[in-house]
Structure 1
Amino acid sequence: MSSKTKIVVLRMKELIYTGIFIAMGILLIILLICMFAPKNKTTKSSSEAAAYTPGVYTSALSLGNQAVDVEVVVNSDSIKSVRLVNLEESVAAMYPLMAPSMENLAKQVIENQGISGISYDEGSQYTSMALTEAIQRALDKARIRE
């Protein structure tokens, strides 16, 4: 058997051009993958920051035969203020824990940007729970439905 040795001569210029074209091809493939790959859109949970329709929202709270409104002001991504409106002096006298409980809850709601993680004073637990339910109803009105 005769084997003939073949000698292949490669020029350095051809190797450099080939390397450059391979690198450009790999770069092009990576660029196309990055451009057309599906993006993972993460949605924020309601405890972080819910999407709201900006505005002023109210929820009625019935106290005997009187009605008191809980007003929640929101912008597109945060709760700006929470307060009682239409609180007459007679209602404030009949329910003396209403205003201090609302002040405490308003601070916590704005801090937490929601009603999760709210603590109640021991003496005004039931008043605070009723106010919290009214705040939640107002926030439900403000929340954008998908």
Structure 2
Amino acid sequence: MSKTKIVVIHLKEIIYTALFAGLGILLIILLVIMFLNKKEDTTATMSGTQYTPGVYNSTLVLNDAALNLEVVLDKDHINSVRIVNIDDSITTMFPLVEPSLNDISEQLVDGVDINSIEVSEDSKYTQTLLLDAIKAALAKASPDLKDK
């Protein structure tokens, strides 16, 4: 004859097992949701570019001398800002132009927003003129402007 086995299951063990099974299912659901949203977020950011990549120019006039300001852009980052045709008379008459542009360029390349640029008190007006010229070049690179 077969022996009868008696299995004793404590209520505490059933509760622990149910809790761990529920937490495991919740963890799996959260991981699936997190990774599915991650793929959707990357496609949304890829389509929302900030600039149209390329090289854009803007003109700045100082004492009847035109300076061409060149801005090199990626789709979401400013790579460089420089003056293309600066001659000795401009550097002599306006000695703060190049250091001011270098300061602004460093901040922009580091990822600071154009509206958040810190302007030094020593060259406040020069940097304001340069920022206006950079904003004009960035306006040309706006993807919204290209679609119209």
TM-score bucket (shorter structure): 0.5 to 0.7
Distance 1:84 1:92 in 2: 11
Larger Rg: 1
Give 1:69's aligned residue. 68
- What is the aligned residue count? 105
Q: What is the SS of the residue equivalent to 1:119? A: coil
Give 1:91's aligned residue. 90
**Structure 1 pair 61–50 and aligned structure 2 pair: CA distance change class (3 A):** farther
Give 2:26's aligned residue. none
Q: How does the TM-score come out when normalised to structure 2?
A: 0.63
Cα root mean square deviation, aligned: 2.4
Identity %: 39
**Structure 1 pair 50–104 and aligned structure 2 pair: CA distance change class (3 A):** farther
Q: How does the TM-score come out when normalised to structure 1?
A: 0.64
Bigger helix fraction: 2
In structure 2, runs of 5+ residues without a counterpart are 1-39
Distance 1:113 1:58 in 2: 20
Q: What is the SS of the residue equivalent to 1:67? A: strand
Residues 51, 75 of structure 2: 8 Å contact kept: yes
In structure 1, runs of 5+ residues without a counterpart are 1-38
Q: Please state how far the C-alpha of 1:58 moved relative to its aligned partner.
A: 0.6
Q: Where does structure 1 differ by over 4 angstroms across 4 or more consecutive aligned residues?
A: 39-44
Q: Please state how far the C-alpha of 1:110 moved relative to its aligned partner.
A: 1.6
Q: Is 2:110 the partner of 1:111?
A: yes
Residues 50, 143 of structure 1: 8 Å contact kept: no
